[in-house]
Structures are given as structure tokens and as C-alpha cells.
Chains A and B, each alone.
Chain A
């Protein structure tokens, strides 16, 4: 709500012009009813200045307070109330300036005056409501636009993340090396890389997958890394009882394992083991990923450093909980644990 009706554009001018015109009409009508010029002007001035003030009050009040619920009832009451106050104040003021004869004529014409008052106030209220609805719509469109943009950015980011150009090109380079000497292995790796990429593209953001599916997918990823680093990477994928069919959101485990690979494999030189275990605990799927790390390189491991923030954020969006992702260090092994409520 930025500006009230009167503060917009040239509305003030139109408002004044209307009331001048209306007052002249008022005088003209009363003249037809045998008022003298003087009496007609007094009547018009008092009632129209009061009615226009009433309109301003209504506009201002609507600027500051406009209920969303039962708007129609509120506005009708506002309109009737304003008209009632207007007519009684007008009568009270007139009673002290004009003759009894004129006051009687006023009293007789109260129904028609009220009708006119309600009409004018009603129009003002309607215009006001229209204006605010329009404003709100514009604002909502803007918000919608903004959120669309953010969603799109996120989508692009996700796509880039998933495809991991570095991983992809290094894998292609390994294939290129294998083609000449070990074509059978090259073909196998192409197969695995294709399956992995197809899986990445196929997955839907909102559709939960079973742990088995997710582990199969991770196995592909790890197998590819094994061809690249076979001389020093070994992996253990362990499933607990009954966890096979338990479900988890897609793309949740992947970044955790990538993280393990990044710090456990890319940043070390020795033979290493990366393990993924799962179990059921209090109706929650608990998954633990273990990777060694080089303490000399990544000293300050506190909380969920290590680029796990995105996972943490995602879990919070999904479950409104901040305690589902935990990390722990045992000597030079880094353990990431994620719990997924079922």
C-alpha cells in the first residue's frame, strides 16, 4: 500500500472539481424547489463540505485499515455509518443557522439526501477497493516473477552441479586412454557413464526414491571413479536390514558422497576407502558416509563445513529440522550422518 487514492496522480484536482460542480448542481436543484439563492448556497455549502470531508475520512481510513475477511460487510457498514453521521451533523449545523421553515424542508428531504450520500460514498469506496486490488495484483505479479527467476536460477545451478563438468571431462579422458590399450574396459566405462548421466537427467526433484535405487546410482558413480583412481580407491556400500525399500529424497546422498570423494580421494595420495552404511533407527533411515581426509589440508572442520551446507538447507526445507545432518571426526576419518524421517 503505497499511496492513498487522493495522493495518486491528479486525483486531488478531480476530487475538488467534482465537489465544486456538485455544489453548483445542488444549488440549482434547491432553487427549483423555491429556496432563495442565499438559502440554497448555505445548504449546499454545509452539506457538501461535510460530505466531501466524510469522503476524505473514508479514503484515509481505508488506506490504513482494510480487512481481508468480510470486506463487504465492513465496507457497507462504513458507507452507512458515514452517511448517517454526515446527515445528522449537517442537520445539527443547519439548525443553528437557517430558519425553521428551511429546516423542515431539510428534514423532509432526508431520505433522498441519505440516498445521494450513500451513492457518493459507495462510489468512493468502490473506486478505492478497485485501486487496492489492482495494486495488490501488480505486487503479486512482481513477486511471482521474482520467484520464477529464482527457481530458474536454481534449476540451472542444479543442472550444472549434477553434470559436474570436471568429473565428466576427466572420465572422458580416461575413456580416451583406455580405447587404445583396453577397448573392452573403455566400452564398459562408456556404458557406466551413460547410465549415470541418464539417471541424473531422469530423476525428478520431488519424487522420493528407494535406498536401493539410490545406492545403485552411487555405485555407478563410484565405479567410474574407480576406473580413474582404481589403484587407490576402494568402496564399501553396506545396506542394513530392511533399509532396502526405505525412501529418501533424490539428490540428497549424491552431494554427500561427492564431498567424501573430493576430500577423501581428490585431496589425498594414499590408498583410501569410502564407505556408505545404512540402518533403521526409530523409524528413521540413517545413512553414514565415511571418508579419510588430510588433516594438514583441511584443518578447521567444524559443524557442517566441507560444503555440506546445501544439504543442510535442503533438509531444513524438507523437514523443518536442523538436526538431521551431523558430522564427526574420528582421527583422520570424517563421518557424515544423515537421518531421513520416514
Chain B
């Protein structure tokens, strides 16, 4: 059996998918989810082969949900987003269906998936897709992370600094820190470089949280943040910081 998961906050939108899927005897709908939080849980629980994913959903959107999954299954997006906005993602997703969509269009998407469903490929594709989305700035005023099986949405202004930590990036807020499975380059790329500055190979700092800069040994500096945290600033980082702060 092929395990399929439906994630859409509108019951009627799921009704259509269920109806269209009736023709595919080999498919089993393992669960229907109302939002991304439920989606994350259900994916972990059922390990589906294919998910139908709406983009605009409460709390976290479809892209943010995918980011939280280590090995995402194949995805067919269903969305009312206008075509222009979604065209950029076309190459990376299995397919996307613009609501409302016909049975013929749906069948085409399914054929496409059957044709490319050799496992492993989709995860790679989706990583690229998520990068494209992040760089397009569609959802860039917050970062979504998973900690202790709970999903946290961190507004960018609450973030003090990012710190490299092996394969992860450690995100520091005033009262806690979170790990996210991404690279420093990724964050450097998606963040607004007037607000977040890469001060060091392993650090990206929110400039609004800097209270003062102190010289350190050699030509390095240390940035003191408003809760007393200290962040190293390299020589090139110092030049960048001075530019952004207008010194």
C-alpha cells in the first residue's frame, strides 16, 4: 500500500483530494491534518510515501512545516497561491496543484509522481525547494524550530545571535537557545543583512541587540549584547559591522 497524508486546513479541500484518490486502489490515506503541527506529528508517526500539502495554513505554513522534517516524503503542493509566486518552486516540487484543480490535472500530478518516485530523490529536491522559498523572502520574519518535540516560532527580532554548532546552527534568544538543522551560509543568505551581520565565521549577530564593541586581542573585537552576552567579532566582521552601524 502507498501511504498518503493530506494536510490542509479546509475540510472541503481535503474532500476533493479524497474523492479524486478513490480511483487509486493501491493508495491508503493514513491521516488528514488541519495544520502543520499535526502534519509534523503524523509524518513522524506514519512515514507516508506522499503528502498533499497546502501552503497557507494557520501557525506555520507548508514550507515551514517541511523544514522541520528531517527526511521529507514526496510532496504535491495544493494551493490557491497565484501561479506567478509558485512558478519559482516548480522545478523542485513533485508537482503543485492550483486550486481549484480538475481530476485530469490531479491524475497528471499522480502520474508524474509514480514516474519519479524512486526514494531519496525527493528529499534532495525538497531541500532545494526550501532554499528557493527562503531566498524568495516569502516567510522570512520568523524562524520555526523543533525542540523537545514542541514546535517553536521565533520572531526574528527575538533572536540575539546565531552560532555555528557542527551540523546545526544554534539560535540564541533572550531566555533560551534552539538548534536548527541548517548551515550558517543558509541563514546569512536569507536574513536581512542590515539587521543580521556575520561578525565571525561562526556567528551572525542581530545588530539591534549590540550595546557596545570592545577591542580584544590582536585586531579582533567583542560585541557585548544587551543581556551581557559576548560575541566574537573578526577583523572582516568588524568592518562589516561598522558599515551597517554607520560608524
A331 is an interface residue with CB less than 8 A from chain B:
no
Q: Interface segment, B7-15, B113-121, B125-133, B211-219?
A: B7-15
In the assembled complex, the CB of A128 is this many whole angstroms from the nearest CB of chain B, namely 48
11 further A-B pairs in the complex, CB-CB below 8 A; given A173-B16, A269-B59, A297-B153: A170-B13, A172-B99, A173-B100, A175-B100, A177-B13, A227-B12, A229-B9, A229-B10, A268-B59, A269-B58, A300-B157
Bound complex: CA A297 to CA B181 (Å): 22
Bound complex: CA A180 to CA B98 (Å): 19
- A172, A177, A266, A267: which has the most chain B beta carbons within 10 Å? A177
In the assembled complex, the CB of A237 is this many whole angstroms from the nearest CB of chain B, namely 23
When the two chains form the complex, which single residue of A166, A174, A296, A299 contacts B13, counting CB atoms closer than 8 Å?
Answer: A174
Residues of B within 8 A of A (CB): 9-13, 15-16, 19, 34-35, 37, 56, 58-59, 80-82, 98-101, 153, 155, 157
Q: A165-B80, A269-B58, A299-B155 are in contact. Are A173 and B12 (CB under 8 A)?
A: yes
In the assembled complex, the CB of A295 is this many whole angstroms from the nearest CB of chain B, namely 11
28 contacts between A and B (CB under 8 A): A166-B80, A169-B98, A169-B99, A170-B13, A170-B80, A170-B99, A172-B99, A173-B12, A173-B80, A173-B99, A173-B101, A174-B13, A177-B13, A177-B16, A178-B12, A181-B15, A181-B19, A228-B10, A231-B11, A266-B9, A266-B58, A267-B58, A268-B58, A269-B37, A269-B59, A296-B153, A297-B153, A299-B155
In the assembled complex, the CB of A144 is this many whole angstroms from the nearest CB of chain B, namely 33
Q: Which residues of B contact A175 (CB under 8 A)?
A: 100
Q: A173-B99, A266-B58, A294-B59 are in contact. Are A165 and B82 (CB under 8 A)?
A: yes
When the two chains form the complex, which single residue of B19, B35, B80 contacts A180, counting CB atoms closer than 8 Å?
Answer: B19
Bound complex: CA A227 to CA B12 (Å): 9
Bound complex: CA A174 to CA B15 (Å): 9
Closest chain B residue, CB of each to CB of A180: B19
A176 is an interface residue with CB less than 8 A from chain B:
yes
Residues of A within 8 A of B (CB): 165-166, 169-170, 172-178, 180-181, 227-229, 231, 266-269, 294, 296-297, 299-300
Q: A267-B58, A297-B59 are in contact. Are A177 and B15 (CB under 8 A)?
A: yes
Q: Are B58 and A177 in contact (CB-based, < 8 A)?
A: no
In the assembled complex, the CB of B201 is this many whole angstroms from the nearest CB of chain A, namely 32
Closest chain A residue, CB of each to CB of B98: A169
Q: Are A269 and B35 in contact (CB-based, < 8 A)?
A: yes
Bound complex: CA A176 to CA B153 (Å): 34
In the assembled complex, the CB of B101 is this many whole angstroms from the nearest CB of chain A, namely 8
Q: Which residues of A contact B82 (CB under 8 A)?
A: 165
Q: A231-B11, A269-B58, A269-B59 are in contact. Are A176 and B34 (CB under 8 A)?
A: no
In the assembled complex, the CB of B123 is this many whole angstroms from the nearest CB of chain A, namely 28
In the assembled complex, the CB of A180 is this many whole angstroms from the nearest CB of chain B, namely 6
Q: Are B12 and A169 in contact (CB-based, < 8 A)?
A: no
In the assembled complex, the CB of B80 is this many whole angstroms from the nearest CB of chain A, namely 4
When the two chains form the complex, which single residue of A174, A297, A299 contacts B10, counting CB atoms closer than 8 Å?
Answer: A174
Q: A173-B100, A175-B100 are in contact. Are A266 and B56 (CB under 8 A)?
A: yes
In the assembled complex, the CB of B152 is this many whole angstroms from the nearest CB of chain A, namely 9
Bound complex: CA A228 to CA B56 (Å): 14
Closest chain B residue, CB of each to CB of A176: B100
9 closest A-B pairs by beta carbon, nearest first, are A169-B80, A173-B99, A177-B12, A173-B100, A176-B100, A174-B12, A177-B15, A177-B16, A170-B80
Q: Which residues of B contact A267 (CB under 8 A)?
A: 58-59
In the assembled complex, the CB of B21 is this many whole angstroms from the nearest CB of chain A, namely 13
When the two chains form the complex, which single residue of A169, A231, A269, A297 contacts B100, counting CB atoms closer than 8 Å?
Answer: A169
Q: Which residues of B contact A299 (CB under 8 A)?
A: 155
In the assembled complex, the CB of A271 is this many whole angstroms from the nearest CB of chain B, namely 12
Q: Which residues of A contact B19 (CB under 8 A)?
A: 177, 180-181
In the assembled complex, the CB of B134 is this many whole angstroms from the nearest CB of chain A, namely 19
Q: Are B155 and A176 in contact (CB-based, < 8 A)?
A: no
Bound complex: CA A296 to CA B100 (Å): 32
Q: Are B34 and A269 in contact (CB-based, < 8 A)?
A: yes
Bound complex: CA A162 to CA B13 (Å): 23
Q: Which residues of B contact A180 (CB under 8 A)?
A: 19
Bound complex: CA A176 to CA B155 (Å): 37
Bound complex: CA A165 to CA B82 (Å): 8
- B35, B59, B101, B157: which has the most chain A beta carbons within 10 Å? B59
Closest chain B residue, CB of each to CB of A298: B155
Q: Which residues of B contact A229 (CB under 8 A)?
A: 9-10
In the assembled complex, the CB of B11 is this many whole angstroms from the nearest CB of chain A, namely 6
Bound complex: CA A52 to CA B15 (Å): 91
Bound complex: CA A227 to CA B19 (Å): 18
- A170, A181, A229: which has the most chain B beta carbons within 10 Å? A170
Bound complex: CA A37 to CA B113 (Å): 107
Q: Which residues of A contact B10 (CB under 8 A)?
A: 170, 173-174, 228-229
Q: Which residues of B contact A177 (CB under 8 A)?
A: 12-13, 15-16, 19
Bound complex: CA A181 to CA B11 (Å): 13
Bound complex: CA A267 to CA B155 (Å): 15
Bound complex: CA A176 to CA B82 (Å): 18
Closest chain B residue, CB of each to CB of A169: B80
Q: Which residues of B contact A176 (CB under 8 A)?
A: 16, 100
